[in-house]
Amino acid sequence: MTAAEKAYQFITDKIAEGKTIMVGTAMKATKITPKTAAAFAAANHALFKIGNDGCLYMAEGKKYVCIAYEDMILARISAH
């Protein structure tokens, strides 16, 4: 399992448990509650996805930003 897949699994597991996820990059921190994740799912827009290149992406508006490569996580990810 790659680093991106592990991060994705951690995020989806913690959201399923009802926990809030914090994703911190060098520029900002993003708080994702289970309610936020549910709203994205209801809109049929993935909040997190593994791309064809094996990287983990997080939605930022209508675009996606890379938060993890196959071998390296670029963001601080925690659950509360």
pLDDT score for 62? 85
Distances (CA, A) of 77 to 4, 8, 15, 43, 56: 12, 10, 12, 24, 12
Domains of the chain: total: 1
Question: Could you list the residue range(s) of the whole structural domain that residue 7 is in?
Answer: 3-79
pLDDT in tens, the chain (80 residues): 999 999 999 999 999 999 999 999 888 899 999 999 999 999 999 999 999 999 999 998 889 999 999 999 999 999 99
pTM, entire model: 0.89
**pLDDT for residue 2:** 94
Beta strands, E only, 1-79: 21-24, 29-32, 48-50, 56-60, 63-68, 76-79
pLDDT in the model for residue 76: 94
| Token code pair at residue 32 | 């994702």
